[in-house]
Structure 1
Amino acid sequence: MCGLVGFLAANRDASEYIGAVEGALPCMYHRGPDAAGTWNDSDAVFGFNRLAIIDIAHSDQPLRWGPAEDPQRYALVFNGEIYNYLELREELTAAGYTFATEGDGETIVVGYHHFGKAVVEHLRGMFAFLIWDTRTRTMFAARDQFGIKPLYFATTPRGTVFASEKKSILAMAEAIGLDLGLDRRAIEHYVDLQYVPEPESLHGGIRRVESGCTVTLRPGEEVSPRRYFRPSFSTTPVRGGSEQELYKAIAGALEDSVEKHMRADVTVGSFLSGGIDSTAIATLAKRHNPNLLTFTTGFEREGYSEVDVAAESAEAIGVEHIVKIVSPEEFAGAIPEIMWYLDDPVADPALVPLYFVAQEARKHVKVVLSGEGADELFGGYTIYKEPLSLAPFEKIPAPLNRGLNRLSRILPEGMKGKSLLERGTTPIEDRYYGNARSFNFAQLQRVIPWAKPEWDHREVTAPIYAASTEMDPVARMQNLDLFTWMRGDILVKADKMNMANSLELRVPFLDKEVFRVAQTIPVDQKITHGTTKYALRKAMESIVPAHVLHRKKLGFPVPLRHWLAGDELYGWAEDTIKASGTDEIFNIPEVLAMLKEHREGVSDHSRRLWTVLAFMIWHGIFVEHRIDPGIERKDYPVTL
């Protein structure tokens, strides 16, 4: 787990940008405090920050490799972990290749030489990497199937830069002639969805290589990503005794994934909340590390903590458990620092306790496992039940359906049956937009008067829905979340909050072999018997403690609604809004009015307010340069 920067010059003048790349690396010190280095030729400059996890004494980057006739042909910078590197290394050795290190990075570049661009199909892990071929003068970039590891890029007439974090590209903006104007379309998408959807960023000149994509680039060319991963889900129901075979396959795939995710030359721990996902991971991890440490976080307010359940699970598993309680003062005080680490705001308050539990875990371990991805792969969100409850509406003739929809919209608010009628007669493409949206368009215009209807969430979701027409409704919702909520919120906060603390987070559910099994699960094994993730729960019956097997998912709940209405955060929120220099973006009086309405109990605006507040803090740091995030500048243990 590390941080990379790669610049491909348009005019074979790469040496002029060595200083810019070196200056961009300290922005990502937290991603790789163990070592740093650069390499260049006439076309490319690579920079790297290393967090040493595997082959600690060697495997420094940028890494050079080539066949016997050209031993320095390739240069590699790589962020992530390849969990099947031992098996891949054995396969490549049998094919006649030799290795100079014991690390996983070298298997990528050797694999690229052997398999070409198809190397991504052979990698089992999380990754974002750049390979420069000094012979063909071609750069190959790739990002893992699910988007666990980030990869930003920007192109100007002077060249193209790739980086693990946007901060490093911002640091190079003057050197490469990059326009730092904000993208209003991306701002509206953020306020609408609570995250910036890929491939956008809030800076119009900076974009992201999307999950499951590769890029092949020569000097002076435009970045044109190619998608290599297109998920699909089964529509065939499981019959007869084959359910048990399915459960066995799920358990076997997950156990194998956890075993491979435990590969490291440092201590591996595990996050543990009160739900089945993290408990399953921790229980399986304990089999490979009898001295496993687990970590959780919570709040003092009753109903907003899974600390007690997690402690009960830890005792049942037989692991040492460490707890971090977050106070409202700590919560508010950490926001500027957190927004700096995020690069673009994510309006999910759960990332704050995640930041603190990562900070605590880093005192004890260098790697942690976590349960992200289980809901998207196995059907874990309660909203996935909706297609089943609305199934009778599918039998209504289309003209009558449209008439009933018009009727539903004129019925009085709060009238019994209005919501069911409206949802049942609305196509899924217009009804479901992921887990995040908190503003309707009228509310959106209240805070950003310039909002355009054509820029709403459907602009993001329509292409994803268009690619899933052959799937059942539940699978279409899962597929949408894979490309929106999961990679825009869940994986961003997982990467950024843990790397902020130089802690590597691994997610065994988001493994291509686990997905190979999960995509075969039919809807009658996901949402059934009044629960979610049914097949996963059945598969884990003999593995996880009974008290969490059917427990409702909570994650890291935050008492935001109470804090924004009370003395804990109301004053902080009011001061943040009044001090913000975002008048050209937000209607500040309306935002203050929403805060007052929330305090008076007129309406619960907590998520809407948090979306605006997070942006204001971000804007104060990256645009106004008014807010000091309080990041301590550190020096590398080796010179650049």
Structure 2
Amino acid sequence: MCGIVGIIQTNQQARPLAENIRRMTDVIAHRGPDDEGFLFADPQTVAVYGGESPVVADALPDYYPAEPITAAYALRSSLAFGFRRLAIIDLSPFGHQPMSYRNRYWIVFNGEIYNYLEIREELAAAGYAFQSQSDTEVILAAYAHWGADCLNRFNGMWAFAIYDRDRHELFLSRDRMGIKPLYYYNYNGLLIFGSEIKSILAHPDVETRPNTTYIDRFLREGVNEFQEETAFTHIYRFSRASWWRGNIAQIPAGRLAATTFWTVPVNPSTEPFDPQKADQYAQQYRALLRDAVRLRLRSDVPVGTAFSGGLDSSSIVHYIDELHRENQVTQKLKVFSTVYPSEGAKDCDESEFINLMAERYHLEAYGVEPQAAQVPEQMQKMVRAMENPQESTLMSYMFTYGLVRQNGVTVTLDGQGADELQAGYKFYITNHLANVPASALRQEYALFASMPGSRSFARLGAAFNILRQMGLATITRQALNRLGKLSDPFVTVNERLHRDYFNHMVTLLHYGDHSSMACSVEARYPFLDYRLAEFWHGMPGVYKVHEGWTKYVARLAMNGLLPDQITWRKDKMGWEIPQDYWFRGELKAWFCTTIENSAFLQSMGLGRDIRRQLDQPYTDHKRMKMMLRLLNLALWHHTFFPKQPMQTGDLTYVIVTPVRNEGEHIEATLQSVIAQTNKPRLWVIVDDQSTDRTPALLHQYAGRYPWIKVVSGPDLKRNDYSSRVVQLFNYGLSLVDVAYDVVVKLDGDVYFKPDFFAGILAEFRQNPRLGIASGHLTLNGVREKADTSAGNTRGATKCYRKACLADIGGVYPYTSWDTVDNAGARAKGWETRMLPYEFEHLKPEGSRAGSPLYNHYRTGLSNGRIPYVGAYFMAKALSKALEPPFLLAPLVQLYGYIQTRFIRKERPFPDFVTQQVRKEQKAYLLRRIKGKRLPPQTN
């Protein structure tokens, strides 16, 4: 187990890389405290260097460095590898990396190939020779023999980079499950990869900020460590079960298009339960699990296990004990647990089951109880270790692996991954009951409702079953989607397991790897042996959830091998942590202060009512998770962006522009934005199937200016409530991957003075309560005198503060942008108004201010909902055209007052606009028409 980093300069300029690669490896020294090594290469030469401490040994491999890294500080090269080693297999210098094979292939490798001995024998029979006893050299020989197909032969966990000297190629790969991490940054002529994001951030040329798209999704949905995006702009996670290969001199910019080499299908079978077949599955499972444990016991350093006392970790302990007795290993197995025996935290304690197993298997058991006073400091360490913000304290992980390291153990075999294969969580009961035949529903419901803590899941499953039988499954799905529910209760158990295995489980693996490696411990997972994954995915769901039991075949397999209290235990716990007890008690002040003092959260309008939320009675994990997301986000920003305070004087903005066939005007718009004294951080232009010269112009300018991003519009639903333009804008906003304070919706046919956006930001700085400022622009700022031949009189620019968007929940897809944001923002206590200098065209004759009626309606409360607005403008234009002028506009305005006050012909508002909001809108509108000011608002 190790930490790897790499730098590839794709801008054709060879520069010294040694100081930067050394800085990057120093940051991840915890991943490899035993050794370090470096490689520098260009098409002609390869040079290797080591750490500053010389190694004295009887024999050294030909790839072992002769000089320390300090001797390479002036060396120029196009590629550099860095390596930190945690020595586990072949502890000699022959296990050193970067490692070479036949002086052609060079590798830096993080992970373990458990079946390396079997592969080595096969390669030796084919004529390959080896210098070391390591699995690393087996990877190189396998790649030389089979190419990328070697990945299908590996049983293990890995993230590695291979440099092919002859072809000047880079080959990257990550294991099937995504156990070992691999991140990369590919921007401004630099491709940088590493085992941790921290190593990439250590490079001085890396440009990154908080990724607001990722953060917004995190706040809505929680942790998603399976996606490619990270919380840092321009830094991505390399895909699991994939590889990528490219020439060093021709690496494309942006995301790497990786090739997937392994997947596993879902078994959709709904066959009835067969006891004989269940016994066969149990026998196969026992053999596979035993062999998975056997392979993962290969180590030249002490092995233990992180132990909870549940079925999964107990099954691993059983097979370790069996294999130790078979191999005459007399040393007691060390197990490590987090326990909570103290009052107030006992709901999270599993000491009873740990002690039961320790007595039966004569284990050397170690336990640790996290104390509330230790949590703040450990939270800081956890946030730094996890790198992306989380929704838990993860104290069980941090304290357990700290305990492992303190007691001289380097490798653990842990039970991660079993629940996502075997249906171990109670929420799978809902999917099971939703799909059982109607004739079996009553009996199945009674069995599962009797499980501790399962009644609510059983009730939901029964209800969804009835809805399915009534033919209402599709309607129910749509309703759940509108409520923000991400899971589908009507999919089968196997379908949900498949999704969770490659999503939720990857997040758990992220916890395990980053927390264990922060303590210089390697965690191995027998249940993630790909043979077990294929076995469980091929098993019909009826053998996983059956007769009131989750994980039925797994229990059946261990029946008689483990104590019945373990095998047939129903009160499942999963490394529970007494977070609610801590943060509503001893740590309440720290919890609230950390969130309230976060300038980053303040900039998004978050955390202002955290004390009120914390004072509410405890109901379930969801509420605490939502609050913990804020705590983690505050700590995360403070940890990784301490020098980037979010102050109103440092406002930045992004622009999103939907366009279609704007060829006559788009170039003037482009030039107008480029000429701004305060340029946007990013400009996303969504091209909606243009057929004129618009696409060519857009790509021409995007090629010159890296902050212009051109994308094609998606296929959109035709029967949606919102207009296509609003949907396109919403899509463009979802692609923004930089931090910003203000978002601008800009049409593709407007242009303005060079100081325009600087003025907008000044407005926001001067008035911190200003939530939204919006309005229309024209060529010269005077709509009535605009050059209509230029075609830009319909162009619009609307500017919104990001914090306001976050406060009202983002952009709604089912209504107009104007209506929602103004109404929603006012309901939240935000002040919304137009930018005064932007609306010269609203001033009628003389110097009188713009019409309150016009302003109010045009800023969003009408937006086509109240029909007389168009008549008002027509009457106003006609009045001005006649001599003497007729007072038609005031008459239409009076009609509008009557219509608004007494006649209700508006189109229906979306569901999220409540009746209370409509009443506030109505009252606000009437006061504006009457010329009365609103009372001052308070937070």
TM-score for both structures, normalised by structure 2: 0.58
> Do the aligned partners of residues 316 and 427 (structure 1) sit closer, same or farther apart at CA in structure 2, a change above 3 Å counting?
farther
Once structures 1 and 2 are overlaid, which stretch shifts more, 224-233 or 385-394? 385-394
Give the alignment partner of residue 261 of structure 2, picking from 199, 217, 228.
Answer: 228
What is the match of residue 452 of structure 1?
none
* 1:165 is the counterpart of 2:196: yes
* 1:100 is the counterpart of 2:131: yes
Q: Secondary structure at 1:588's aligned position in 2? A: coil
**Cα shift readout 1:389-435 (whole Å, capped 9, x = no counterpart):** 2237999xxxxxxxxxxxxxxxxxx9x989965795555995999xx
What is the match of residue 884 of structure 2?
none
What is the match of residue 180 of structure 1?
208
Once structures 1 and 2 are overlaid, which stretch shifts more, 39-48 or 256-265? 39-48
Tell me how far 1:523 sits from its aligned partner.
0.9
* Partners of 2:561 and 2:620 in 1: CA distance: 46
* Matched letter for residue 221 of structure 1: I
What is the match of residue 214 of structure 1?
243
Give the alignment partner of residue 399 of structure 2, picking from 356, 366, 379.
Answer: 356
**Cα shift readout 1:139-162 (whole Å, capped 9, x = no counterpart):** 111111111100000101322111
Residues 192 and 457 in structure 1, CA contact (< 8 A), matched pair in contact too: no
**Cα shift readout 1:449-481 (whole Å, capped 9, x = no counterpart):** xxxxxxx786xx89xx9xxx9xx6111111111
* Partners of 2:18 and 2:5 in 1: CA distance: 11
* Partners of 1:209 and 1:602 in 2: CA distance: 34
Q: Secondary structure at 1:531's aligned position in 2? A: coil
* 1:574 is the counterpart of 2:604: no
Tell me how far 1:386 sits from its aligned partner.
1.1
> Do the aligned partners of residues 109 and 427 (structure 1) sit closer, same or farther apart at CA in structure 2, a change above 3 Å counting?
farther
* Partners of 1:419 and 1:121 in 2: CA distance: 39
What is the match of residue 876 of structure 2?
none
Residues 24 and 200 in structure 2, CA contact (< 8 A), matched pair in contact too: yes
Q: Secondary structure at 1:36's aligned position in 2? A: strand
> Do the aligned partners of residues 587 and 240 (structure 1) sit closer, same or farther apart at CA in structure 2, a change above 3 Å counting?
closer
Structure 1, unmatched stretches of 5+, are 396-413, 434-439, 443-455, 628-640
Give the alignment partner of residue 271 of structure 1, picking from 301, 306, 309.
Answer: 306
What is the match of residue 73 of structure 1?
104
Residues 564 and 606 in structure 1, CA contact (< 8 A), matched pair in contact too: no
Tell me how far 1:542 sits from its aligned partner.
3.3
Residues 86 and 520 in structure 2, CA contact (< 8 A), matched pair in contact too: yes
* Partners of 2:644 and 2:10 in 1: CA distance: 35
What is the match of residue 833 of structure 2?
none
What is the match of residue 369 of structure 2?
325
Once structures 1 and 2 are overlaid, which stretch shifts more, 551-560 or 72-81? 551-560
Q: Secondary structure at 2:128's aligned position in 1? A: coil
Larger radius of gyration: 2
What is the match of residue 560 of structure 1?
579
Q: Secondary structure at 1:115's aligned position in 2? A: helix
Tell me how far 1:352 sits from its aligned partner.
1.1
* Partners of 2:214 and 2:392 in 1: CA distance: 17
Give the alignment partner of residue 412 of structure 2, picking from 368, 375, 383.
Answer: 368
Structure 2, unmatched stretches of 5+, are 43-77, 325-329, 440-455, 646-939
* Matched letter for residue 88 of structure 1: I
Q: Secondary structure at 2:179's aligned position in 1? A: coil
* 1:293 is the counterpart of 2:334: yes
> Do the aligned partners of residues 259 and 132 (structure 1) sit closer, same or farther apart at CA in structure 2, a change above 3 Å counting?
same
> Do the aligned partners of residues 249 and 152 (structure 1) sit closer, same or farther apart at CA in structure 2, a change above 3 Å counting?
same
> Do the aligned partners of residues 393 and 613 (structure 1) sit closer, same or farther apart at CA in structure 2, a change above 3 Å counting?
farther
Q: CA RMSD in A?
A: 2.9
What is the match of residue 312 of structure 1?
356
Tell me how far 1:559 sits from its aligned partner.
1.5
* 1:390 is the counterpart of 2:434: yes
Q: Secondary structure at 2:186's aligned position in 1? A: strand
> Do the aligned partners of residues 357 and 64 (structure 1) sit closer, same or farther apart at CA in structure 2, a change above 3 Å counting?
closer
> Do the aligned partners of residues 60 and 431 (structure 1) sit closer, same or farther apart at CA in structure 2, a change above 3 Å counting?
farther
* 1:192 is the counterpart of 2:227: no
What is the match of residue 342 of structure 1?
386
What is the match of residue 588 of structure 1?
607
Give the alignment partner of residue 624 of structure 2, picking from 601, 606, 619.
Answer: 606
Once structures 1 and 2 are overlaid, which stretch shifts more, 257-266 or 197-206? 197-206
> Do the aligned partners of residues 585 and 355 (structure 1) sit closer, same or farther apart at CA in structure 2, a change above 3 Å counting?
same
> Do the aligned partners of residues 429 and 23 (structure 1) sit closer, same or farther apart at CA in structure 2, a change above 3 Å counting?
farther
What is the match of residue 483 of structure 1?
502
> Do the aligned partners of residues 533 and 100 (structure 1) sit closer, same or farther apart at CA in structure 2, a change above 3 Å counting?
same
* Matched letter for residue 39 of structure 2: W
What is the match of residue 126 of structure 1?
157
* Partners of 1:615 and 1:335 in 2: CA distance: 12
**Cα shift readout 1:125-177 (whole Å, capped 9, x = no counterpart):** 011111110111111111111111000001013221110000000111x33xx
Greater RCO (Cα-Cα under 8 Å, separation 6 or more): 1
* Partners of 1:318 and 1:517 in 2: CA distance: 32
Q: Secondary structure at 2:161's aligned position in 1? A: strand
* 1:135 is the counterpart of 2:166: yes
* Partners of 1:549 and 1:207 in 2: CA distance: 41
Residues 5 and 195 in structure 2, CA contact (< 8 A), matched pair in contact too: yes
* Partners of 2:148 and 2:181 in 1: CA distance: 19
* Partners of 1:525 and 1:363 in 2: CA distance: 41
What is the match of residue 231 of structure 2?
202
* Matched letter for residue 624 of structure 2: S
> Do the aligned partners of residues 17 and 441 (structure 1) sit closer, same or farther apart at CA in structure 2, a change above 3 Å counting?
farther
* 1:260 is the counterpart of 2:295: yes
What is the match of residue 8 of structure 1?
8
Residues 89 and 134 in structure 2, CA contact (< 8 A), matched pair in contact too: yes
Residues 187 and 196 in structure 1, CA contact (< 8 A), matched pair in contact too: no
Residues 428 and 473 in structure 1, CA contact (< 8 A), matched pair in contact too: no
* 1:50 is the counterpart of 2:85: yes
Within-5 A mapping of 1:432-581 = 473-488=492-507, 490-551=508-569, 552-566=571-585, 568-581=586-599
Residues 595 and 631 in structure 2, CA contact (< 8 A), matched pair in contact too: yes
Tell me how far 1:277 sits from its aligned partner.
0.3
What is the match of residue 673 of structure 2?
none
* Matched letter for residue 311 of structure 1: N
Residues 193 and 457 in structure 1, CA contact (< 8 A), matched pair in contact too: no
* Partners of 1:153 and 1:394 in 2: CA distance: 51
* Partners of 2:372 and 2:503 in 1: CA distance: 30
Residues 268 and 495 in structure 2, CA contact (< 8 A), matched pair in contact too: no
Once structures 1 and 2 are overlaid, which stretch shifts more, 50-59 or 295-304? 295-304
Once structures 1 and 2 are overlaid, which stretch shifts more, 305-314 or 604-613? 604-613
> Do the aligned partners of residues 102 and 126 (structure 1) sit closer, same or farther apart at CA in structure 2, a change above 3 Å counting?
same
Residues 224 and 504 in structure 2, CA contact (< 8 A), matched pair in contact too: no
Tell me how far 1:592 sits from its aligned partner.
3.9
Q: How many matched pairs?
A: 569
Tell me how far 1:563 sits from its aligned partner.
2.2
Residues 5 and 163 in structure 1, CA contact (< 8 A), matched pair in contact too: yes
Structure 1 runs (4+) deviating above 6 angstroms are 392-395, 416-420, 601-604
> Do the aligned partners of residues 257 and 432 (structure 1) sit closer, same or farther apart at CA in structure 2, a change above 3 Å counting?
farther
